[in-house]
Structure 1
Amino acid sequence: MTETLETPTTHRRVRVWFGAHPIADHTAMAEQAVQYEEAMRRRFASLRVTSEPVLVDADR
């Protein structure tokens, strides 16, 4: 996914991975996603945690 100036990213998708399998998947506003990511990194210190931008339709 590519972020452009015309469509700013307002949400992030945070996932916790057990090998190749996501065991937690959460999408939230950018500010809340940062807090969730930090909490998941503390809770699952030995697992990979990713956070990526999500483009959300303005019609929602």
Structure 2
Amino acid sequence: MTESLEIPAEQRRVRVWFGAHPIADHTATPDQAAQYEEAMRRRFASLRVTNEPALVTSGPVR
């Protein structure tokens, strides 16, 4: 049996949501992600914008 590990990365994931559907998905460094989040909040003021740690999936664990 193989499993994948998810480990926090030095990246952030910013998404813009239309209901339950992401309409934009961007991964960047924390500083760049903060700037992108701010821009998306201005552009899509009525939509939900999230900024979360990006998870990197490693290869199979044996």
TM interval, shorter chain, is: 0.7 to 0.9
Aligned positions of 1:1-60 closer than 5 A: 9-56=9-56
More strand by share: 2
What is the distance in 2 between the residues matched to 1:16 and 1:51? 9
1:10 CA drift (Å):
1.5
Distance 1:21 1:8, change over 3 A: closer
1:41 CA drift (Å):
0.2
* Higher radius of gyration, 1 or 2: 2
Quote the sequence identity (%). 80
Equivalent residue pairs, number: 50
Calculate the TM-score normalised by the size of structure 2.
0.73
Gaps of 5+ in 1: 1-6
Q: Which has the higher contact order (CA 8 A, sep 6+)?
A: 2
CA contact 2:16–2:23 (8 Å) conserved in 1: yes
Calculate the TM-score normalised by the size of structure 1.
0.75
Gaps of 5+ in 2: 1-6, 57-62
Q: Deviations over 1:1-44 (max 9, x none)?
A: xxxxxx76421000000000000000001110000000000000
Structure 1 runs (4+) greater than 4 angstroms displaced: none
